[in-house]
């Protein structure tokens, strides 16, 4: 039996008494509900009180107990329908119609915290602060992330938490006014620009960081200014010894974070949004799926690009790990009418669950495509 779920924002539900039933009508049994989330502008087609919600900073949608936080503290939302416990209110509405709620938790992506505490943000080889990205090698960031997990687990009876940005965000930042595409940076150059050399990373990398930064700047500048490609991998660009040191550092930090989160979560499932490549930074954390410790309850693999590469990645992941795989599919992208066929192929390729993005954002036609996929893939 394939489990089908859909992502949703709390404001899709809070203040709309018919929203939970509308989601249940999709045929899904689970809603992956916003608990901690970055800034966003979102449509809400059916809500009695609003049509466009502008969440203009990252926020916690669970009840914030001020005494529980040290150092970095999450902010409360001040948009949409006010409620001191939006996650609790929304999950109660879902429970009332028989839907299971997972907490959707974004850990290291917060521009508002990165701007207020730039000493904890990712720093690139040019000493530029990437304020939207908190560095998980920093003790204060780890503490913030784990307190987030703990507060959700202590306050809500949810069976699972889906962890997004459980590692480093890098150069990529899909902000509304991004103007970087014209530089034609290769994937490798973007990965080089994503390397964090903040004091915490510099200390743990075990490398000559001044030399590393100089080499990173030289390689990236050569591509930016002369069009000479940076290479295809960190190993090719920086040498295999340094690439291995970077991967080891990332693995230790990410494993440590997942291990501590799992211990706080107890018998709740941790679903880890991941990419099977330690060179990758971003919301889907880059790890080697084969042998990653501790194994989460499931890996959530993003299948938002073209169908063939997504199927190939799912097959490859299924061959590399025994951990269950969840396909994260995009119902708000270009080919939503093909969702049923895509979901069927992803399940045949090894996914045991599907999550549709996104119950609140999808138009009637896209909701129909989700409903059809749920009905056809069992
Ligand atoms: Zn760092």
* Each residue's pLDDT tens digit, 291-317: 999 999 999 999 999 999 999 999 999
Q: What is the pLDDT of residues 64-103, one digit of tens each?
A: 999 999 999 999 999 999 999 999 999 999 999 999 999 9
Collapse the DSSP code of 338 into the 3-class scheme (helix H, G, I; strand E, B; otherwise coil) and give the result. Answer: helix
Which domains are delineated in the chain? 3-179+251-376 (3.20.20.80)
Question: Predicted confidence band at 179 (pLDDT cuts at 50, 70, 90)?
Answer: confident
Instruction: Quickly list DSSP for 225-278.
Output: HH-----SSHHHHH-HHHHHHHHHHHHHHHHHHHHHHHHHHTTSEEEEEEES-T
Q: What is the pLDDT of residue 272?
A: 98
Nearest of 321, 328, 322, 319 to residue 282 by alpha carbon = 328
SS3 292: coil
What is the reported pLDDT for 336?
83
- Residues within 5 A (CB) of ion ligand 1: 135, 137, 196, 198, 201
Least confident range of 169-183, 277-291, 355-369:
169-183
Cα separation, 91 vs 156, in Å, equals 9
74 CA distance to ligand 1 middle (Å): 20
| pLDDT on residue 243 | 98
pLDDT at 176 over 70: no
CA–centroid distance, 203 to ligand 1, in Å, is 9
pLDDT value at residue 312 = 98
Q: How confident is the model at residue 173 (pLDDT cuts 50, 70, 90)?
A: confident
pLDDT mean over 112-132:
97
Tell me the pairing of strands 298-303 and 129-134: unpaired
Predicted local confidence at residue 273, as pLDDT: 98
3-state secondary structure of 373: helix
Euclidean distance between CA atoms 264 and 159, whole angstroms: 13
Distance 257 CA to ligand 1 centre (A): 14
* pLDDT per position as a tens digit, 209-246: 999 999 999 999 999 999 999 999 999 999 999 999 99
Q: Report angle CA 88, 102, 353 to the nearest 5 degrees.
A: 160
Cα 94 to middle of ligand 1, angstroms: 38
């Amino acid at each position: 039996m394939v489990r089908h779920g859909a992502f949703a924002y709390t404001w899709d539900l809070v203040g709309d008494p018919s929203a939970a039933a509308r989601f249940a009508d999709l045929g899904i049994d689970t809603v992956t509900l916003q608990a901690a989330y970055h800034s966003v502008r979102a449509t809400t087609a059916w809500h009695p009180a609003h049509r466009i919600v502008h969440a203009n900073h990252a926020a916690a949608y669970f009840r914030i107990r001020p005494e529980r936080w040290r150092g970095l503290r999450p902010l409360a939302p001040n948009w949409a329908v006010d409620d001191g416990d939006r996650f609790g209110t929304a999950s109660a509405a879902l429970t009332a119609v028989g839907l299971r709620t997972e907490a959707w938790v974004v850990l290291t992506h917060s521009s508002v915290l990165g701007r207020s505490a730039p000493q904890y943000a990712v720093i690139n080889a040019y000493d530029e602060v990437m304020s939207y990205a908190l560095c998980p090698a920093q003790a204060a960031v780890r503490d913030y992330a784990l307190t987030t997990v703990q507060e959700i687990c202590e306050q809500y009876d949810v069976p699972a938490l889906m962890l997004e940005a459980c590692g480093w965000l890098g150069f990529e930042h899909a902000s509304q006014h991004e103007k970087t595409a014209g530089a034609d940076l290769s994937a490798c150059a973007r990965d080089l620009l994503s390397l964090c050399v903040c004091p915490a990373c510099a200390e743990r990398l075990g490398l000559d960081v001044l030399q590393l930064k100089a080499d990173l700047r030289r390689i990236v500048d050569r591509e930016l200014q002369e069009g000479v490609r940076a290479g295809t991998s960190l190993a090719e660009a920086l040498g295999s010894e340094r690439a291995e040191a970077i991967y080891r550092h990332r693995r230790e930090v990410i494993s440590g974070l997942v291990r501590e989160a799992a211990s706080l979560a107890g018998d709740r499932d941790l679903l880890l949004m991941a990419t099977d490549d330690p060179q990758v930074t971003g919301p889907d954390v880059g790890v080697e799926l084969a042998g990653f410790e501790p194994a989460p309850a499931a890996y959530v693999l993003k299948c938002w690009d073209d169908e063939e590469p997504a199927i190939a990645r799912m097959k490859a992941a299924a061959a590399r790990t025994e951990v269950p795989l969840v396909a994260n599919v995009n119902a708000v992208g270009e080919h939503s009418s093909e969702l049923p066929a895509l979901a069927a192929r992803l399940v045949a390729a090894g996914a045991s669950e599907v999550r549709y993005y996104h119950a609140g954002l999808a138009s009637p036609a896209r909701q129909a495509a989700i409903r059809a996929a749920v009905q056809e893939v069992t």
